[in-house]
Structure 1
Amino acid sequence: MPRSTKDLMAHAEAMAEAFEAYEPQPGDSAKPIPPTMAVKLAAFRRSRAEAELAEAVRTARRQGTSWRDVGEALGTSGEAARQKYAEL
């Protein structure tokens, strides 16, 4: 089920807090990353990227960029971009 941008941003913040609170242990870098940690790391990066993208769209819109141009930059239609990001 698709999540809203607000949900993605909240998840990104929660993941950031978890990663920032982590205290490295001796030998951490010598161990391979467990598969589930690799998934969590990828999800964290995706969440941060989504938050960065949402902020870029907000900035573009505040500066007068049309939904058509935003959509084109995203590789989609202006209407699809508006539907996804208008609530920001």
Structure 2
Amino acid sequence: MAAVFEQYEPNSADEVDAAAVLALRRAVQERSSAELHLVEAVRQARRAGLSWAAIGGLVGTSGEAARQRYAKRVA
């Protein structure tokens, strides 16, 4: 094992583009933040009396799909 370590030669094909990794991390963080905002908006919509069908239409899915995705999170 030590010989493998000592004989290792860096290969540019193994390098990771740090900017690409950073961009991906930021996008994941933004998606997470957006999902939290969406859950809060769904919670507010339900409290205001909007139906699952109306919420589903606004988020681009069916009412049943919206209910399945958000009902437990906004209860």
Q: Percent identity?
A: 52
Number of residues of Structure 1 aligned to a counterpart in Structure 2: 56
In structure 1, stretches of 5+ residues that fail to align are: 1-32
In structure 2, stretches of 5+ residues that fail to align are: 1-17
Letter paired with 2:42 = V
Per the normalisation by structure 2, the TM-score is 0.72
Between the two structures, name the one with larger relative contact order (CA 8 Å, sep ≥ 6).
1
Say which SS state the counterpart of residue 81 (structure 1) adopts: helix
Q: CA deviation at 1:44?
A: 0.5
Q: Supply the distance in 1 between the matched residues of 2:42 and 2:64 (Cα, whole angstroms).
A: 14
Q: CA deviation at 1:75?
A: 1.1
Q: Which has the higher helix share?
A: 2
Say which SS state the counterpart of residue 72 (structure 2) adopts: coil
Question: Are residue 75 (structure 1) and residue 60 (structure 2) matched?
Answer: yes
Letter paired with 1:62 = R
Cross-structure match for 2:43: 58
Q: CA deviation at 1:42?
A: 0.5
Q: CA deviation at 1:34?
A: 1.3
Q: Supply the distance in 1 between the matched residues of 2:33 and 2:64 (Cα, whole angstroms).
A: 24
Per the normalisation by structure 1, the TM-score is 0.61
Letter paired with 1:68 = A
Q: Supply the distance in 2 between the matched residues of 1:44 and 1:74 (Cα, whole angstroms).
A: 20
Q: Supply the distance in 1 between the matched residues of 2:52 and 2:21 (Cα, whole angstroms).
A: 38
Runs of 4+ in 1 over 2 A off after TM superposition: none
Please tell me whether Structure 1 or Structure 2 has the larger radius of gyration of its CA atoms. Answer: 2
- Alpha-carbon RMSD across the aligned residues, in angstroms, is 1.0
